[in-house]
Amino acid sequence: MSDASLNPTDLESDAQFGDYFALLKPRVMTLVVFTALVGLLAAPAEIHPFVAFCAILFIAVGGGASGALNMWWDADIDAVMRRTAKRPVPSGRVTGQEALSIGLALSGFSVVFLGLATNWVAAGLLAFTIFFYVVIYTMWLKRWTPQNIVIGGAAGAFPPMIGWAAATGGISVESLLMFSLTFLWTPPHFWALALFMRKDYDNAGVPMLTVTHGRPATRRHVLIYTVLLAALALATGFTSAGGPLYLSVAIVLNVMFLKGAWEIWQRDEHMAETDNYAVEKSFFKLSLLYLFLHFGALLAEAAVDRAGILWAGF
Amino acid sequence: MALKPTHDLHDRRYGRNLGVGLTLAAFIAVIFGLTVVKVTRGDFESPRAATSASGTAAETEDTQ
């Protein structure tokens, strides 16, 4: 008898490589990679292309590690939410212990190798981001306060700062502006999701604003945070990080975003149920485009600046 | 009982083992590439070596 036949039921459901990869939240990782890449490329410093590639890779692995630790801790509430029930841990494909081990190992690995590849300021920021997302957000704020998304959003806002630090070795006004843009974008993005996911957060007992303060209050908060975000996004256009190209993109996107937030605020649950939350869903989709295009415009501004310097050199 | 060349376990875990193997190979390639870049750029030179190198360069310039 081989040891493989000792517990056949467990072995029937061997986790595949894709299940372990899913622990790293690849969809969230795309946002991390993109914003970190913009931070890195927009920074006024030369970085070797292969070192830049390694920096982005280690930042992505660090982000993935925090995702695995989040899935380890939140397996109980993930299991009761329709959106998250198929994740590897609640579905039983990967054990919680495996998720914890992978998360811890990749956290240490990513921080150390980012430090070795670039500098220890960037590595320190990555370590703090993982700590903030796992301990401050996942373990503490998420189940305690309806402001969980607001404060916890900082974790998702750090990648451009890490990318910037990887290139320059420090923090600057521009990298703080990129941080603030993602930080203020997170609440309306997630509250729009909470509005149309309806029962998910209620069933899980997560104190989302929709659960603790009701849907009209959530709609009001979406509008307030969108106004704050628009003010910041437009003001960024007048700083050294912005420029005419960024400002043009920001004006169009923020008018659209403010219009969407205004419509969400004007609606009540009866209207939303009638069209199956069409406005909330389109606002959520727009929020994804909003962030990608803002960061794309920041990257384009940096490219234009570089091209201008090169042109002046001829 | 006939000996099977591979156990059912090996078939079930083939994809997973292949993924882990490829990930490790990619990791080695990344670390190797990073080392090559760091060494060729002189990132691993000790401060004393860098100082003496720049001092030698300065002396060479003085004598020219």
pLDDT number for residue A4: 44
Classify residue A15 by its DSSP letter.
P
Residue A161 predicted with pLDDT over 80: yes
Please give the mean pLDDT across all residues of chain A: 90
| Tens-place pLDDT, residues B2-56 | 666 677 777 778 888 899 999 999 999 999 999 999 999 887 777 666 566 555 5
Mark out the alpha helices in chain A (DSSP H runs): 8-12, 17-22, 26-42, 49-73, 75-80, 96-117, 120-131, 148-157, 159-168, 173-197, 199-204, 209-212, 215-236, 244-266, 269-274, 278-313
Q: B13 CB contacts (<8 Å, ≥6 apart)?
A: A14
Written as one letter, the residue type at A48 is H
Among A17, A51, A93, the residue to mutate for chain B (most B Cβ within 10 A): A17
- Which residues of chain B neighbour A48 with C-beta distances below 8 Å? 37, 41
Q: Are A13 and A93 in contact (CB under 8 A)?
A: yes
List the end-to-end C-alpha distance of chain A, in Å, as a whole number: 77
Chain A and chain B share a number of CB contacts under 8 A equal to: 37
Nearest CA of chain B to the CA of A52: how many Å?
10
Q: Which of B8, B12, B33 sits opposite A50 (nearest CB)?
A: B33
Tokens for A260? 């969407």
pLDDT number for residue A119: 96
Classify residue A171 by its DSSP letter.
-
Q: A125 CB contacts (<8 Å, ≥6 apart)?
A: A158, A161, A162, A165
ipTM over 0.85: no
Q: Does domain A14-168 have CATH number 1.10.357.140?
A: yes
Computed on alpha carbons and rounded to an integer, the radius of gyration of chain B in Å comes to 26
Q: How many angstroms separate the CA atoms of A117 and A167, rounded? A: 11
Q: How many angstroms separate the CA atoms of A99 and A40, rounded? A: 30
Q: How many angstroms separate the CA atoms of A151 and A197, rounded? A: 21
**Residue whose token pair is 């029962």:** A199
Q: Does B13 touch chain A (CB under 8 A)?
A: yes
Best-predicted range by mean pLDDT (A10-24, A55-69, B35-49): A55-69
